[in-house]
Structure 1
Amino acid sequence: MEQRILSSAPYKSFQSERVVVDLFRDHAWASTHGLYYEDLQTQKQRELDVVARQIWLSGDKAHEWVCRITVLVEVKTMAGFHLLLSPVESPDTRFFDHIRWFGDSTGKYKALSKRFRALGISLEDIDALIKRAHQHAYPEDRARLWEQMIRPQSLMAFTSFRETNFGSEKELDNSVFWRASRNLRSAQASIVESMGRSDMRELLITAEFDHIKDDWVDGMWFTLSRRLNAVDIIHPVVVTDAQLWIVGDEGPRQCNYARFGEQSYNGAIEWWCDLVNSEHLGDYVAAVSSHYAKRLLASGGKLSY
């Protein structure tokens, strides 16, 4: 039985996920094997293969911040398959949408105001809190945590691909890479939704505390400012043993990793993930780790874990 398990496809796939966990740990990430979340569209429980996390803190009490980086990884076995990638010129600024910050939207303030009013908080107190929050979030009309809102490292980008073993070509719905990217996008949406619920829950609990009623704005400020001083970066990755090929005017050439941009009709990148050949995962993890560390160290940060 042991030999049957060792030679089985599920065992080999499971072990390849464990290798990814260890590689991230080797580069100072807190990584875990397996994440369970609720798909927001189907309300069904789903599983993600690997999650790696780092938390960075500022070393300057005068300008406190927290940056949490979460790498979501799907590991897919595609022996004998190749992914043909069509490269596009794409500036790094297009890959900005995986950054979550509480101060980035008036929509959050409006939602808070509505919930506070339902608790009987005066409009005067609510307006004073929102004004204070905006002034804190955008000193001199620039986002307070702009330096911590780090775009991913530069990579060759592609918006179109083909998955083939040269005997056949997989349609989009049957593509292993496409399905893995859907899992990542679903997991990311679920995580962001969970973060939002957690923020709202803690703010509403604080708002109802009796001991802050005499000075409600100051009483709320500690809880709200903690959210304004924190930013979350989500970095999705598909790891596969399929060979990756850039297809250009000069013919195909092999590549180690690239960035998939899900492009809409107007040219905007609505979502992205990195695609990595498993043989080169070590180099990729080193590059990602170095990229974030360099930027956060330069802004006075220190790695918490």
Structure 2
Amino acid sequence: MIEDKNQLINKLFKSSAVNSIILERKVFESLSERKWQVSHSPYYIDFDSKKHQEIDVVASKYWNVKDDFSCRVNLLIECKSLKDYHIIVDNKRNSKRYELKDFWIGNDNIFHYQKIRKLLKKAKISENDINTIIKKLDLYCSPDGIVYRNANYIFNAFKIDAYNVFRETNIANTKDIDNSVIWKCQQSLSSCISSIEEMFWADIDYSIKRIKNDSLFNSSNLVEEIVCDLIDDAKHKEIVHPVIVVESNLWELNSDGLGKLNYFRLCFQQLRDTELWVDIVHVDHLDEYFENLKIYDDFIKNIK
């Protein structure tokens, strides 16, 4: 019986399930050591299907930069074994800035504050009051009518080599895009980002409803209360940085043949619209990759 039990334990320990947890734990521990707030296997609601989905690791760091600005960077990380596969990249990009996806209430200015207007209408705020609220919010977000208040607070992803083309192969077979683990991870990360955006606006929706309901029981100035609350929201920005950690060998196709990579940025080009990108990191080089995160701390320290 003891021998059977030991055999079972050995089989389980070598299983893909245990290996997956060990891989995720390495990511968790590496980020915890760097003082990031880390969650292992949190769940979110998929924006399209409305079903619960899991993401392997989420790490965040919060900075209260000034009295009028705070931000949180969220690392969204998928971990995949892919032990028998190789990831080969090509078409290296020239140096370019990659802005991190951010959620800030002032971004709605691009769409003439359509999202805010929709939430205010949903709360049955009058059209005149909506126009007043939007005017005062816009005055805060863009004081001179041209430059955003937080124009100096735009986060760019730290620089690493970036490529446009990838293949996922075990030499005998090459996966097409629908079956590619990297592609599926990117889809999951995009879904999680959409969920974060939905939660961001849901919080604003809740605040507007709360203020509207409170106004029914007291004589507070509804417009001013909503404006103050929205301006408080405008003092914070949520930022996301997507990452995939793998055990696969990473290769660059170059003029000399194939060169080994420790990590890189993979860009998913689209014919139209904005492009998507994700950082892909070999598990043996996690610490080296995560050292780049210090750039975000340095950026915050240098904000005037």
Q: TM-score, normalised by structure 2?
A: 0.89
CA, structure 1 residues 17+118, in 2 after alignment: closer, same or farther (shift >3 Å)? closer
Separation of aligned partners in 1, 2:224 and 2:59: 36
Q: Which residue of 2 aligns with 1:82?
A: 86
1:43 counterpart = 2:50? yes
1:119 shift after superposition: 4.4
Comparing 154-163 with 245-254, which one deviates more in the overlay? 245-254
List per-residue Cα deviations over 1:180-215 (Å, max 9, x = no partner): 111111111112112211221212221332267553
Q: Which string of whole-angstrom CA distances, capped at 9 and with x for unpartnered residues, describes residues 227-275 of structure 1?
A: 1111111111000011111112332211111111111114x54221111
Q: Which residue identity does 1:252 align to in structure 2?
A: L
Q: Do residues 102 (structure 1) and 105 (structure 2) align?
A: yes
Query: Is residue 20–residue 50 contact of structure 1 (8 Å, CA) maintained in 2?
Result: yes
Q: Note if contact 1:145-1:231 (Cα within 8 Å) is conserved in structure 2.
A: no
Aligned equivalent of 1:249, options 249, 255, 258: 255
Q: Distance in 2 between matches of 1:182 and 1:114?
A: 28
Selected match of 2:74 from 66, 70, 73 = 70
Aligned letter for 2:210?
A: I
1:282 matches 2:272: no
For the pair 1:9 / 2:16, whether they are aligned, the reply is yes
- Give the Cα separation in 2 of the matches to 1:234 and 1:112: 22
Shifted more, 173-182 versus 15-24: the winner is 173-182
Q: List alignment gaps of at least 5 residues for structure 2.
A: 1-7
Identity %: 25
What is the aligned-residue RMSD (CA, Å)?
2.0
Name which of structure 1's ranges 135-144 and 38-47 shifts more when overlaid on structure 2.
38-47
Alignment of 1:288-299 (within 5 A): 289-299=293-303
- 2:77 partner letter: V
**Could you say if the C-alpha distance between residues 291 and 81 of structure 1 is closer, same or farther in structure 2, counting changes exceeding 3 Å?**
same
TM-score, normalization: structure 1? 0.89
Number of aligned positions between the proteins: 294
State the AA in 2 paired with 1:3: N
- The answer on 1:198 being equivalent to 2:203 is yes
In structure 1, what is the Cα distance between the partners aligned to 2:191 and 2:287? 26
How do 1:203-214 residues align onto structure 2 when only pairs under 5 Å count?
203-210=208-215, 213-214=219-220
- The answer for unaligned runs of 5 or more in structure 1 is 301-305
Which residue does 2:171 correspond to in 1?
Answer: 166
Aligned-partner Cα distance in 2 for 1:17–1:119: 42
Q: Secondary structure at the match of 1:299?
A: coil
Distance, in Å, in 1 between the alignment partners of 2:91 and 2:121 is: 51
1-structure distance, mates of 2:85, 2:118: 52
Give the Cα separation in 1 of the matches to 2:135 and 2:229.
15
Conserved 8 A contact 1:67-1:233: yes
2:61 maps to a residue whose letter is: Q
Taking CA–CA contacts closer than 8 Å with sequence separation of 6 or more, which of the two structures ends up with the larger relative contact order?
1
